[in-house]
Amino acid sequence: PLSLNAKYHFSNFICGPSNEFAHAAARAVAAKPGRSYNPLFLFGDVGLGKTHLLSAIGHTIQSSNPDAKIVYQSSESFANEVVDAVLNGKLEEFRRKYREETDVLLMDDIQLLAGKERTQHELFHIFNVMYDSNRQIVLTSDKLPHDLPNVEDRLRSRFQWGLITDIQPPEIETRVAIVKSKAAREGLELDESLAFHLARHVASNVRELEGALVRILAHASLTKRKLTIQYIDEILNNIVPRTTPDLSIEAIQEAVARYFRLKVNDLRGSQRRQSIVRPRHVAMYLCRKHVSKASFPAIGDQFGKKDHATVMNAVKKIDRALESDRSLQSQIQDLEQQLDIPQTTKS
């Protein structure tokens, strides 16, 4: 069944130079599915609106063509579907669903197909059948097709058959417009200087900008204080460095070493045994998350002079693994408890 995010429409997508090409392409595809650009490949960093545009395409096609069978699927759940079909002997059914019964395929985050050979194989055939019968395919990814690691060449090349558009981080004016429009939706008229202040503060991506705005609106409505620049700063400063004061990199290294029965020097060294690499990555992850002012280079320094990219990759790896790895989740929780870090429940 179609499980598009109900909130994501073209009408509430704010355009600016950073995303207008992607937006225009998405509009064109929504107006003439299968006949403008196929596949449409939306590329951009996390939090910049890929899923939003993908859903908007789905909603638009659905409302102009209520009978269209639109499948929205994250690559991860698609991969799970493949595994299920294989395990339960339901491949025929699975293939029929996609190859015969789907008019529009919206596939989110295809970078997650990396290394999933069976899933790629199925997608390849689905792609061919849909493409040949002019049925629309839209893909999103945080990497360009030729940078997708561990994806078959034949699939990668098909991803480039249509149109590739990228979404860049929004400029300040666009961020201001986004803040104002989101605030207005919540019934708050945010004046220009406040919107500008907020947009200047949170430059990373739209999701974080939204998160900051939500907190500000919640604070303001609960305390009934008038929003001022100073008040916004108070709120932002509470949320931006969500770190525990006084926690040091050394303290984390010691706790992690103890927990995994290693030596601190193992964590700082460069042995590549998995039983050491994982704890090392966990330690880096915790440093980044909980030590205020621990930049990637600063962390690298204290892990035996490793460079910032190494740390960044380690943190990314753990972040990603945490999405599905239960035992890792509980290890991190244990460690956070041991370090007296207040538990945040992640939804």
| Contacting positions for ligand ADP (CB under 6 A) | 8, 12-14, 19, 44, 46-52, 178, 206-207, 210
| Residue whose CB is less far from ligand ADP, 14 or 255 | 14
CB 206 to ligand ADP: min, Å:
3
Report in angstroms how near the CB of residue 7 gets to ligand ADP at its nearest: 7
Please say which residue, 46 or 214, places its beta carbon nearer to Mg ion: 46
The one of ligand ADP, Mg ion, none whose footprint includes residue 33, by CB under 5 to 8 A per kind, is none
The residue type of 8 is: Y
Q: Which does 52 bind (CB under 5 to 8 A by kind): ligand ADP, Mg ion, none?
A: ligand ADP
Distance of closest approach, residue 291 Cβ to ligand ADP, in angstroms: 26
Distances (CA, A) of 302 to 43, 257, 282: 35, 14, 14
Q: Smallest gap, in angstroms, from Cβ of residue 50 to Mg ion? A: 5
Nearer to Mg ion, 18 or 51 (CB): 51
Ranked by CB distance to ligand ADP, the top (closest) residue is 49
Task: Write down the residue that tokens 């290890």 correspond to.
Answer: 331
Closest CB 189 distance from Mg ion, rounded Å: 30
Q: How far apart are CA 294 and CA 317, in angstroms?
A: 18
* Contact criterion met (CB below 8 Å) for 41 and 158: no
Q: Which is nearer to Mg ion, 85 or 206 (CB)?
A: 206
- In the bound complex, what is the minimum distance in angstroms from residue 155's beta carbon to ligand ADP? 21
Binding-site residue total for Mg ion (CB under 5 A)?
A: 2
The entry of Mg ion, ligand ADP, none that residue 8 binds, CB within 5 to 8 Å by partner kind: ligand ADP
Residue 170 or residue 300: which is nearer to Mg ion going by CB?
Answer: 170
The answer to whether 165 and 54 are in contact (CB under 8 A) is no
Question: Which amino acid, one-letter code, is at 126?
Answer: I
Q: Between 166 and 210, name the residue whose CB sits nearer to ligand ADP.
A: 210
The reply on whether position 51 binds Mg ion by CB under 5 A is yes
Which one of Mg ion, ligand ADP, none interacts with residue 44, CB within 5 to 8 A by kind?
A: ligand ADP
* Cβ proximity to ligand ADP, 211 vs 269, nearer residue: 211
Of 51 and 60, nearer to Mg ion (C-beta) is: 51
Least CB distance to ligand ADP at residue 219 (A): 20
Sign, CA dihedral 138-144-150-152, equals positive
Choose the contact partner of 137 out of Mg ion, ligand ADP, none; CB within 5 to 8 A by kind: none
The CA distance from 137 to 75, in Å, is 13
47 binds, among Mg ion, ligand ADP, none (CB under 5 to 8 A by kind): ligand ADP
For residue 76, the minimal CB distance to ligand ADP (Å) is 13
User: How many Cβ atoms are within 10 Å of 320's Cβ, its own excluded?
Assistant: 11
* C-beta closer to Mg ion: residue 109 or 336: 109
Q: Which tokens is 34 given?
A: 């299968």
Task: Tell the smallest beta-carbon distance from residue 297 to ligand ADP (Å).
Answer: 26
Contact yes or no for 76/134 (Cβ under 8 A): no
Site residues for Mg ion per CB under 5 A: 50-51
